[in-house]
Amino acid sequence: MVKLTRLKDVRQRKALTQQQLAERAGVNRVTIARIEGGKDEPFPTTVRKVADALGVEPEELLEPVAEKTANGPSTAPVNGAATDLALDGRITVVGTEEVERLLRSEPDLAPLVNEAAEQLSKYFPAASLRLRHMFEPEGDAEELILAALADYDVDFEQNVDEAMAALDRFDRDWWIKNVRRANGLLIVTLE
């Protein structure tokens, strides 16, 4: 059975969501998810479509996954071109230069930001997303903040309660499982 053991790793390195890859490859997003999860054996034509969409040879998707170090992000190479840092189209970047600098210095961060944006959009479909850089001068720490900008209508208090409940579900369903990947460099919030 052919397993594309590196598909998720390569897709994330290219800063693509499952949906974006599926659209480029001309397949269903569920197909990508099932292949990444090892639940489906892809047809050779599907392997070729996915590899072409990622700009790699099919063999690259079959190689074993390199283990990430426990002390920080992996050392996956980054070419440094702006297109390597492509962010989800739903995200508005504020302070582009600082955001790009941090994303370039932390190659695992852009795929995580894209995944978080995809997940946030499920819980806040009408919200716009904003990514900004924050620097804490006291601690010399920096981080990115991905915010869902809620559009509250007349009943503000009820909408705030609903938004907070949705953020709690997002945290419980996705963020808690992925927060370690951020290495303290990404905050996901509601504004």
Given CA atoms 44, 45, 48, 49 in this order, what sign does their dihedral have?
negative
pLDDT digits (tens, 9 = 90+) for 135-162: 766 656 788 989 888 765 545 566 778 8
pLDDT digits (tens, 9 = 90+) for 39-65: 888 887 888 899 899 988 888 887 554
* Residue 165, C-beta contacts closer than 8 angstroms, at least 6 positions apart: none
Kindly state the DSSP code that residue 20 receives in the 8-state scheme: H
Which helix (H) or strand (E) is 164 found in, with range? Answer: helix 156-170
User: How does residue 123 score in pLDDT terms, banded at 50, 70 and 90?
Assistant: confident
pLDDT digits (tens, 9 = 90+) for 80-110: 333 346 788 888 988 888 888 888 888 889 9
What is the mean pLDDT of the segment spanning 124-132? 87
Position 47 scores a pLDDT of 87
Question: Is residue 69 over pLDDT 60?
Answer: no
